């Protein structure tokens, strides 16, 4: 058996000319005919994402951050170059020009999600986490109220529990189940029906998991609302590759990050909220821009502005917001359905290849965390690479080796501890060791080492995810990279981690 350290280049863009690549592509196209409907995305990649191939990058971290088209930059820069824009809180011409752009961005968000402006409002935020914080800090959590939340959530959704607890609310978690990491519909129903006496009830779950790629049923929104719940649908990982139609499903609070959808700009997100649900929120403070009037002669005198205005502290990013309009129009012209179709086909091929990779002794080379087919799942795949004896190859070493080939993968827990704890079978007692001393912060690496030393478990994961500019060459190159681990021993995984 060879020692660990795959060195082959894992493929370059010139792979396209190799018979192995051409045959694989032919087989892929034959088994995924719908992919042919998305060939305009190949043209788009050549024109608008040409830097990927020019620089030899295989970008497989779209759930971390989307990629922007070069035309988005051109359009935004041209607009800034040819306009004079001032702070929108005024009535002079440059201010009014900025107001037009901000209003246009708000209208474009609503129309992109097919949201009726009479029903929904858009609050611009820094990112999805900021949108979540607005809900958490303003939701009327109090004695007897409830926060029902799925295990499968980003930490920015988990963090709302701190506001809930502080207000005296009961926090109830619904676990995901192995091996698919799906939520059990019966447990959701039980959670929704058991908490009925609460005066204010918030139910939060992600439309698509940022860990496993699982898409959770959107039918739960209406069911929960019929039982008196307000529903927060975390759509940050869903909207880059799926249609969210707010005329069909009507969650109360929808947090988003725009860079995940179209790459640029970073630092802008939104809370799309039902106007009725927004009126329920109580802001803990006021700021410039959020009030109609305040006085210093009585500490209680101020009037919060209605709707989105009351939630947008200070000056909005009025120069960045036109780039949101440009980005959404870009997605619209490409077609979210085409992106969905393309990444689903590529993920289907990847899952089939990954689950059949074997060492010479017949042992599997990959363990997937989550569904191994594309039914109700997106193109985000969490996995380990395994050696012939079933040992886990150190994920940081894998990331490093991939990086040497300019393949961008992600490793860690992806801010989704619930999926990670279930995927890696970490019990409550095993986790407890990481929280034994509350005054000394324990890092993720410390905690992973503690658990590994105590149990031999490797609570760490690799993730790849596809998006707007993904193509067959990307996924083929990843599989060639993974094949290089065949018949190689895993080094002592945690020791390799320490070198980072």
Query: Where along the sequence are the contacts to ligand PLP (CB under 6 A)?
Result: 63, 127-129, 154, 156, 206, 210, 234, 236-237, 257
- Closest to 252 in 3D by CA, of 277, 227, 228: 277
- Closest to 411 in 3D by CA, of 458, 447, 449, 456: 458
The CB density around residue 8, as the number of other CB atoms within 10 Å, is 10
Quick one: angle between helices 472-483 and 19-31, nearest 10?
Answer: 120
Rounded CA separation 128/145 (Å) = 24
Question: What is the closest distance, in whole angstroms, from the C-beta atom of residue 161 to ligand PLP in the complex?
Answer: 15
Identify which of residues 75 and 237 has a Cβ nearer to ligand PLP in the complex: 237
Q: What value, to the nearest 5°, has the Cα angle with vertex 342 and ends 263 and 9?
A: 75
Rounded CA separation 235/63 (Å) = 12
* SS3 at position 170: strand
**Is the Cβ–Cβ distance between 213 and 370 less than 8 Å?**
yes
Alpha-helical (H) ranges within 34-154 are 40-48, 50-54, 70-81, 93-112, 128-138
Question: What is the closest distance, in whole angstroms, from the C-beta atom of residue 129 to ligand PLP in the complex?
Answer: 3
Can you name the residues that pair with 150 across neighbouring β-strands?
174
Question: What is the closest distance, in whole angstroms, from the C-beta atom of residue 421 to ligand PLP in the complex?
Answer: 17
Question: What is the closest distance, in whole angstroms, from the C-beta atom of residue 261 to ligand PLP in the complex?
Answer: 11
Question: What is the closest distance, in whole angstroms, from the C-beta atom of residue 137 to ligand PLP in the complex?
Answer: 15
Question: What is the closest distance, in whole angstroms, from the C-beta atom of residue 287 to ligand PLP in the complex?
Answer: 20
Cα 408 off chain centre by: 16
Identify which of residues 237 and 346 has a Cβ nearer to ligand PLP in the complex: 237
Question: What is the closest distance, in whole angstroms, from the C-beta atom of residue 10 to ligand PLP in the complex?
Answer: 26
Identify which of residues 44 and 237 has a Cβ nearer to ligand PLP in the complex: 237
Rounded CA separation 361/245 (Å) = 48
Identify which of residues 261 and 351 has a Cβ nearer to ligand PLP in the complex: 261
Identify which of residues 230 and 234 has a Cβ nearer to ligand PLP in the complex: 234
In the sheet where 170-174 sits, what is the strand order? 120-125, 269-274, 253-257, 230-234, 201-206, 146-150, 170-174
Instruction: State the catalytic residues.
Output: 415
Identify which of residues 72 and 127 has a Cβ nearer to ligand PLP in the complex: 127
Identify which of residues 215 and 250 has a Cβ nearer to ligand PLP in the complex: 215
- C-alpha distances (whole Å) from 143 to each of 99, 136, 168, 176 are 41, 15, 5, 27
- Closest to 476 in 3D by CA, of 19, 33, 40: 19
Rounded CA separation 180/209 (Å) = 12
């Amino acid at each position: 058996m060879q020692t660990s350290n795959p060195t082959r280049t894992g493929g370059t863009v010139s792979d396209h000319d190799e018979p192995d690549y051409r045959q694989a592509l032919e087989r892929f196209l034959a088994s995924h005919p719908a992919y042919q409907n998305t060939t305009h995305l190949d043209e788009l990649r050549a024109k608008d994402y040409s830097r990927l191939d020019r620089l030899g990058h295989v970008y497989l971290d779209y759930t971390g951050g989307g990629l922007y088209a070069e035309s988005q930059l051109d359009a935004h820069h041209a607009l800034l170059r040819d306009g004079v824009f001032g702070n929108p809180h005024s009535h002079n011409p440059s201010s009014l020009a900025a107001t037009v752009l901000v209003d246009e961005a708000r209208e474009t968000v609503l129309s992109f999600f097919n949201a009726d402006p009479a029903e929904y409002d858009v609050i611009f935020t820094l990112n999805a986490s900021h949108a979540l914080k607005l809900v958490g800090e303003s939701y009327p959590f109090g004695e007897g109220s409830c926060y029902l939340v799925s295990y499968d959530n980003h930490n920015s959704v988990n963090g709302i529990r701190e506001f809930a607890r502080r207000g005296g609310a009961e926090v109830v978690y619904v676990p995901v189940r192995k091996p698919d990491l799906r939520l059990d519909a019966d447990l959701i129903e039980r959670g929704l029906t058991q908490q009925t006496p609460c005066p204010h009830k918030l139910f939060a779950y992600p439309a698509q998991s940022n860990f496993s790629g699982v898409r959770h049923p959107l039918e739960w929104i209406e069911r929960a609302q019929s039982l008196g719940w307000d529903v927060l649908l975390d759509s940050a990982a869903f909207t880059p590759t799926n249609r969210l139609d707010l005329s069909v499903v009507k969650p109360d609070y929808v947090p988003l990050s725009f860079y995940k959808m179209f790459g640029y700009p970073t630092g802008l997100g939104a809370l799309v909220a039902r106007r009725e649900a927004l009126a329920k929120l109580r802001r803990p403070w006021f700021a410039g821009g959020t009030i109609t009037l305040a006085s210093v002669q009585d500490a209680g005198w101020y009037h919060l502005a209605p709707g989105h205005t009351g939630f947008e502290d200070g000056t909005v990013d009025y120069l960045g917001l036109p780039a949101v309009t440009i980005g959404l129009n870009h997605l619209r012209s490409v077609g979210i359905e085409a992106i969905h179709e393309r990444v689903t086909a590529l993920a289907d091929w990847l899952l089939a290849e990954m689950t059949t990779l074997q060492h010479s002794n017949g042992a599997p080379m990959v363990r997937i965390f989550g569904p191994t087919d594309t039914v109700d799942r997106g193109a985000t795949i969490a996995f380990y690479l395994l050696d012939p004896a079933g040992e886990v190859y150190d994920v940081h070493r894998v990331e490093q080796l991939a990086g040497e080939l300019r393949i961008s993968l992600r490793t860690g827990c992806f801010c989704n501890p619930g999926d990670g704890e279930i995927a890696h079978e970490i019990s409550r007692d095993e986790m407890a060791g990481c929280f034994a001393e509350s005054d000394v912060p324990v890092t993720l690496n410390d905690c992973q080492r503690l658990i590994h030393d105590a149990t031999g478990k490797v609570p760490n994961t690799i993730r790849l995810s596809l998006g707007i500019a993904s193509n067959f060459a990307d996924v083929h190159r990843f599989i060639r990279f993974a094949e290089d681990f065949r018949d190689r021993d895993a080094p002592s995984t945690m020791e390799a981690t320490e070198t980072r």
